[in-house]
Amino acid sequence: MNATEIVQRGWDAAASGEFDALVEDYQDEMTFIMPGQTDIVSGRTAFRDALGRLGEVLPAGFKITGLRHIEGPDEVVSIVDWQSDKVSGSQLAVLFRFDGDKIYEERWFVDTEQWKGAR
């Protein structure tokens, strides 16, 4: 399975609420950097706990309307088309960095002002 397939499997798991399956593709000592780049979660256990509170972080009515991936050496970038109750359409990017077949960093890049306004 290549890195893009691993990332897509994670998006599919997130969409169906299968967070335990999702975190299996992450190293124990991974880092998750959330929108705004100031909220950092360290470690797979803490990341799994944060996934349980996903509804508190996402804008109301958040929905992914498109998803595509760009793969490079040891990394995948997902370009995510999304909408919410207050935003009719926008994009964000998520960087997944790999060590072998495990993700060690996930970093979200968003328009933070738009994201805050959408919440």
How does pLDDT run across 28-57, given as a tens digit for each residue? Answer: 999 999 866 567 999 999 999 989 888 788
Domain boundaries, the chain: 3-118
CB hemisphere CA count around 58 (13 angstroms): 17
Tell me the pTM.
Answer: 0.92
Query: Would you say the C-alpha torsion 21, 40, 73, 94 has a positive or negative sign?
Result: positive
Query: Could you tell me which CATH number the domain at 3-118 has?
Result: 3.10.450.50
**Mean pLDDT calculated for residue range 3-28:** 96
